[in-house]
Structure 1
Amino acid sequence: MLTPVVDEDGAPFWEYAARGELRVQACAEEDCGELRFPPRPCCPRCQSFAAEWRLMSGRGRIWSYVLPHPPLLPGYAEQAPYNAVLVELAEAPRIRLAGNVVAAPDAPLNSVDPARLRIGAPVRVAFTEIDGLAVPRWLLERG
C-alpha cells in the first residue's frame, strides 16, 4: 500500500484524522473564509496566510471513479478490481478528496462490488489506520 506523505501544511489534516475528524483548511480572514484542499500556506482567493481547520460532516457524493484494470502498481494486484474515487464534500462542493469506497473501514479495497458505484452516490467518511496514519475511506450511504 502507498503511505501518504505528511508535510508541514498537511500535518493538521492527519492529526485530526487520527481523532476521527475530517477537517479542511480554511482562510481565517474575516471577509474571506475560503475553504481549500489540498492544504497550503496561502489562501488562493485573498492571499492571506491566516488559516484554520474547519470540521466537515464527513458526508459527500461520488464525483468520479475509476476501476483500474490491470492495477498500475504491483502492490495492488491482489486487490483488483478495486475502485479509486473522488468525493465531493457536502459542505464544500469544490473540494474533492481522493480515496476508495469500502464495505467497512478496515475492509480490503475490493470489498465493494463495482456495480454498486454510481456518480452522485452518497458516501460518508470512515478512517482506518495504515502505517500509523488514520486514512479516510468512504462508505456508501443507503438510499
Structure 2
Amino acid sequence: MATDTRFDGPGPDAQYRQALEEGRFVLQHCEDCAATRFPPALVCRVCGSPRLAWRAGPAEAEVYAATTVRDRAGDYNVVIVELPGGARMMSRVDGADGSTRPEVTIGLRVRPHIAGQGAEPHVVFIADEGAAA
C-alpha cells in the first residue's frame, strides 16, 4: 500500500517558518496550474493538486487593501498585499526609512522584508518610494 509523502516530515507551515528563520521568503507554486499559494497548505486552492513546490517569493508586490489601526500605543497600518501569481497575504508596510507609519495607498508597490530575526520571523513589506501601480 502506497503512503502519501506529503505527511512525511514537517508540514507546510513548519517548512515556511523554517525558510523565514533561514532568511528566505518562499511561497508554494502549483506544478499543475501554476497558481501561487499562501498560506501554505497540502493542496492547491485553485485546482486541488497536491503537487506544490517551494519557490523564492517575489521581489515586488502591490497593496490590494489597506487600513489604519488607531491605538493608544500609536497608529499602524494593516494591509493585504497581492503577490504575483494571485496569492494575497496580510501584513504591514514600513517606510523605506524604517518608519512604521508611511502613507499607504491601494496600488502602492512594495517589496518583502523578513522582520523579527532572532524572535519570530515574519514578512513585512517596504514601501517603494514614489512607486504606485
Contact 2:75 2:101 survives alignment (8 Å) = no
Partner Cα separation in structure 2 for residue 118 and residue 44 of structure 1: 28
Give 2:116's match in structure 1, choosing from 129, 134, 139: 129
Offset, 1:35: 1.8
Q: In structure 2, how many angstroms separate the alpha carbons of the residues matched to 1:14 and 1:126?
A: 14
Match of 1:100 among 88, 92, 98: 92
The gaps in structure 2 that reach 5 residues or longer are 1-9
Q: Normalising by the residue count of structure 2, what TM-score does the alignment of the two structures yield? A: 0.76
Deviation at 1:131, TM superposition (A): 6.5
1:82 alignment counterpart: 76
Q: How is 1:1-143 mapped onto 2 (pairs within 5 angstroms)?
A: 8-28=11-31, 31-69=32-70, 71=71, 77-78=72-73, 80-89=74-83, 91-92=84-85, 94-103=86-95, 107=98, 111-113=100-102, 116-129=103-116, 132-143=119-130
- Give the whole-Å Cα distance in 2 for the aligned partners of 1:81 and 1:46: 39
Q: Is the 8 A contact 1:22 1:58 kept in 2?
A: no
Aligned residue pairs total 121
* One-letter amino acid of the counterpart of residue 61, structure 2: G
**Offset at 1:130?**
6.1
CA distance in 1, matches of 2:115, 2:46: 33
* Displacement of 1:119: 0.7
- C-alpha spacing 1:112/1:103, structure 2 compared with 1 (3 Å): same
- Cα pair distance change 1:32/1:104, threshold 3 Å: same
Of all paired residues, the percent bearing the same amino acid is 24
**Larger fraction in strand:** 2
The one-letter code sitting in structure 1 at the alignment partner of 2:92 is N
Unmatched tracts of structure 1, length 5 or more:
1-6, 72-76
Secondary structure class of the residue paired with 2:40: coil
